[in-house]
Amino acid sequence: MRIDGAVREGQAIDLTEFDVSATAVVRAIDGGGASLDVDCPTPGAAHGHVALLPPATFDRRAALADVARALGHESSASASLADARSELASLSPPSVDGRAARQRVAEAGTEEDRLRERVAELRGRVQARQEMGASTTAVEAQLNEAVRKLSEAETERIAAEQALDRAATAAREARDRRDRRLELEDRVANLERTVRCDLTSAVWDRFRSALRTVPGTATAGESPGDYDGDAATAALGVTRIAPLDAPVVVDGLDRFSGASEAVSVLDAPVIYTR
């Protein structure tokens, strides 16, 4: 580690003499440091849970699951979870709005009814003039035009109804896809819990043993849900069993006398700050 022109190296690095924040060191470990440079292996998923000790927040089950993965454990439900996630990602139901199609049908029907009444009226006028012996030329011209428009209106109404049928079919398909998405979301959630439980169970005994080694008063029962203690102690236990190559940052944690003791207890490389 290079800081303020100085170089510190090894499994235990003490930075208590430097004015540097623990969060800045964590960022440097992740490759995002500006004023600090830490040359170390790339952190893995398990490291993210314990990069800073004590952690601001800590999800014990998620951390143990990532540790189990890092140690090579798998869940029999992992393949099913991957398939469910893949299918869920492929189901993006279209947004179907049938209001425009219904409006088109309504307008086409209204226009067709209006023109049908117009044609009937003009036919009546033609018949009346014929009975009177009067000229029907002008009225017949109006009738022919009205019949032409009525035919167009009928065609438009049929097209509108067909479009509405297609929209209704699309809406049903969209509902089916939405229902399937809800089913898959539930399935994914259930499988995620199953996978996490399997992975957590795979390393639970190691975690329980680690709790007896790290400083703290936490205890754990035989099942992964049976934990009695604070988040900091749980994080220390996870750190001890995790295969960590990148260093963790121990900041102002009075459970250790210094960086060397932290390395010995946690079995991980440590950068010590205060």
114, 143, 175 - which closes a domain: 175
Instruction: Quick: pLDDT tens for 71-124.
Output: 999 999 999 999 999 999 998 766 777 889 999 999 999 999 999 999 999 999
- Return the CA Rg of the chain: 37
Give the total number of structural domains in the chain.
2
H or E element, residue 56? none
Same domain, 161 and 209: no
Reading phi first (left if > 0) and then psi (alpha if -120 to 50, else beta), residue 58 is in: beta
**84 and 114 fall within a common domain:** no
Residue 181 falls within a domain, yes or no? no
Residue-wise pLDDT tens digits, 150-188 = 999 999 999 999 999 998 988 888 888 889 999 999 999
Q: What is the mean pLDDT of residues 134-153?
A: 95
pTM (global) more than 0.75: no
Q: Are residues 73 and 116 in the same domain?
A: no
Mean pLDDT (whole number) for 184-196: 96
Tell me what the mean pLDDT of segment 124-138 comes to. 93
Residue 182, domain member (yes or no): no
Q: What Å distances lie between residue 45 and 48, 64, 108, 163, 237, CA to CA?
A: 5, 11, 61, 51, 16
Residues 115 and 244 grouped into a single domain: no
Q: Are residues 163 and 108 in the same domain?
A: yes
Neighbours of 89 (CB within 10 A): 9
Q: Are residues 11 and 85 in the same domain?
A: yes
Position 33 scores a pLDDT of 63
> How many whole angstroms separate alpha carbon 170 and alpha carbon 176?
10
Domain boundaries, position 87:
2-91+195-273
Are 135 and 142 spatial neighbours (Cβ–Cβ below 8 Å)? no
Residues 231 and 240 sit within 8 Å (Cβ to Cβ): no
Question: Looking at 125, 145, 175, which one is the last position of a domain?
Answer: 175
Whether 254 and 134 map to the same domain: the answer is no
* pLDDT given for residue 64 in this prediction: 97
Residues 87 and 112 in one domain: no
Helix 78-90 to helix 137-211 angle (10° resolution) is 160
pLDDT reported for residue 34: 64
